Amino acid sequence: MKYDEEKKKIEFDAHIFHEGNHFRSYSFLGAHINDDGVSFRVWAPNAKGLSVVGDFNNWDQNSHRMEKVNDFWILQIDGIKKGEKYKYVIETWSGEKLVKSDPYALYSELRPNTASIVWDLENYSWNDQEWKANKKSYEPYKNPMNIYEVHLGSWKKPQGRENFQTYRELAEELPKYVSEMGYTHVELMPVAEYPLDDSWGYQGTGYFSATSRHGIPEDFKYLIDELHRYGIGVILDWVPGHFCKDAHGLYRFDGTTTYEYSNPLLGENEQWGTCNFDLSKREIHSFLISNAIFWMKEYHIDGLRVDAVSNMLYLDFCKESSPELKNKDGGNQNLWAIDFMQKLNTEIFKEFPNALMIAEESTSWPNVTKGKKENGLGFNYKWNMGWMNDVLKYMELDPINRKFNHNLITFSIVYAFSENYVLPFSHDEVVHGKKSLIEKFPGYYVDKFASLRLLLGYMMAHPGKKLLFMGGEIGQFLEWRFYESIEWQLLELEKHRELQEFVKNLNFFYRKEKSFWEIDHSYEGFHWLEANNNDCGVVSFMRKSEERDDFIIAVYNFTPVHYSKHKMGVPRFVDYEEVLNSDISKYGGEGRVNLEILKPRWGGVDKELCHIEINIAPLSVIYLKPKF
């Protein structure tokens, strides 16, 4: 009788799943522990037959055969418990037998092993009630957001061990460090289970399974709990566009293109050696949106950075043009992907109104952070890849040539408020021969440190939220290596300690000053003071808060020339005080600062009616505040 009731329930779930509206599909698919044992359910619509194998039946493909209900295969196995390893053996109509991990597994074997493990997520008591209560009134647009991007496997490697820090070990150090450095959020590179370390987590197999490299699911919950206890929001890097082709994963799951597009021009992702999810299938909508909600509900994740959005949006992304790569209107936009993203964001914000949904979208696709009514995709943030590319290209130039490329440092304001942006210096910019941040800059050893302080000071005052990949804050000279720890030993050297101190103080300065983030998405919060001084290489602007008298003037010298009495326009005839200077000695500079109050004088410079004279060190950033 109980089994008949279960089949009826599956019929109901199946209807919603096929409609693309089952946003808790993990609640009925996968392996679920019950009073008698474990219920197994898997979607494999085109399979000829399925069985469950594991240690409990000596991996015998014939002992536990599943029954097909609708497009799902089900089986109750009594007497087995949490911790049992299992897989599905799928018999195809061509006679193949595929041995697959469970797409909905909650836990997986440590690579190179690939079995799923029966688990539940009930055996953990959360302690982040205060965090959750505060989040109800959190408004991301009017609050600081300074993100520390972390690859858990290489943040710190345990001494004398070849494996990784556990989630518990990370929880002892990472939250404290991030908090002490003044960051507001961490962004964790993909933690959903993946087979190959070299993929950094971007080629996944277990979308509902936190990687076993660092421990069990309860331990990952503990890490998030500790981050919340320290007041740190947690953003998860999420990969809904493509998946790896390993035999035990989603690839040709039931012998057919179950999860990927059937047309190889759409399904095969040759640039990454992966397969693209078929976003035209409503079942894939149910799978992926369920997964996004799963991480937020079950693991208390605060937001998702959605990877490779452009790859989903364009039918011909990184491909040769073809008539087959056109939509019904003749364009190259993937209308299925647009529909999926609009639905994804609608459902996320319906259940988690203050979530962060951040698109890594590398083209000029319009309205990424606008709603469906405005033909938008519905995200609330987008990485500003244009700003990142321009500013790094500019900083890599020999200073003598920067005056011929001045627009690279100023053009971003033209479009800075067209979307809600995050300014990213991510892991992608410090690998594959691109060099580490500090090694990108020309000049001598001390010039590189000065340039990095300048770059980070420019990012901090520029409109948009902030993101820095781990290692950048200590001036790591080597490119990031996923198999090695950050070069923490560099902090034994004075220049690296001084840089870290600068980043820490800069982070806390940003958090304290409302003018840097209160009006972050509107021209009302920004005013150019000096934008066109190509020859001099000095740039300055004002950032404003909602209070009329609360503003900061940010001044940048992108040349190695010292200007002891630089004349610059100011917006108000009031005294000004230097509140931050990257050239002070404790940050590794030479102390060319403005100790005295800066008195304004009448007389126009640029479009301002009054001006000050200011001492600006080479390759430095200065912040000024008015004294009323």
81 CB neighbour count, 10 Å cutoff = 10
Residue with tokens 């919603």: 16
Contacts of 5 (CB under 8 A, 6+ apart): none
Q: What is the pLDDT of residues 551-577, one digit of tens each?
A: 999 999 999 999 999 999 999 999 999
Pairing of the two strands 551-557 and 97-100: unpaired
- Residue 1 pLDDT exceeds 60: no
pLDDT of residue 582: 98
Task: Tell me the C-alpha distance between 275 and 380, whole Å.
Answer: 27
Task: Tell me the C-alpha distance between 222 and 226, whole Å.
Answer: 6
Active site residues: 307, 360
pLDDT of residue 9: 76
Taking the alpha carbons at both ends of the chain, their separation in whole angstroms is 80
Averaged pLDDT, 191-201: 95
- More confident of the two residues 324 and 509: 509
pLDDT of residue 316: 93
DSSP state of 290: H
CB neighbour burial string for 386-402, b if at least 16 within 10 angstroms, e if fewer: bbbebbbebbebebeeb
Q: What is the pLDDT of residues 215-248, one digit of tens each?
A: 999 999 999 999 999 999 999 999 999 999 999 9
From residue 546, give the alpha-carbon distance in Å to each of 354, 421, 517: 22, 19, 10
Task: Tell me the C-alpha distance between 147 and 132, whole Å.
Answer: 19
pLDDT of residue 159: 75
Q: What is the pLDDT of residues 423-463, one digit of tens each?
A: 999 999 999 999 999 999 999 999 999 999 999 999 999 99
Q: Could you give the domains of the chain?
A: 2-117 (2.60.40.10), 145-244+288-390+420-438+464-516 (3.20.20.80)
Averaged pLDDT, 287-312: 98
Task: Tell me the C-alpha distance between 217 and 236, whole Å.
Answer: 15
439: left (phi over 0), alpha (psi -120 to 50) or beta: alpha
Q: What pTM value is reported for the model?
A: 0.96
Q: Are 206 and 116 in contact (CB under 8 A)?
A: yes
- Residue 300 pLDDT exceeds 50: yes
- More confident of the two residues 517 and 400: 517
Longest distance between any two alpha carbons in the chain, whole Å: 91
Q: What is the pLDDT of residues 334-391, one digit of tens each?
A: 999 999 999 999 999 999 999 999 999 999 999 999 998 899 999 999 999 999 999 9
pLDDT of residue 108: 98
Residue 382, strand partner residues: 359, 421
- Residue 491 pLDDT exceeds 60: yes
User: Alpha carbon 625 to chain centroid distance?
Assistant: 33
- Residue 2 pLDDT exceeds 70: no
- Residue 500 pLDDT exceeds 90: yes
pLDDT of residue 558: 97
DSSP state of 314: B
pLDDT of residue 10: 81
What's the mean per-residue pLDDT of the chain?
95
- Residue 205 pLDDT exceeds 50: yes
604 pLDDT band (50/70/90 cuts)?
confident
161 pLDDT band (50/70/90 cuts)?
low
pLDDT of residue 11: 81
Averaged pLDDT, 238-265: 97
Averaged pLDDT, 588-602: 96
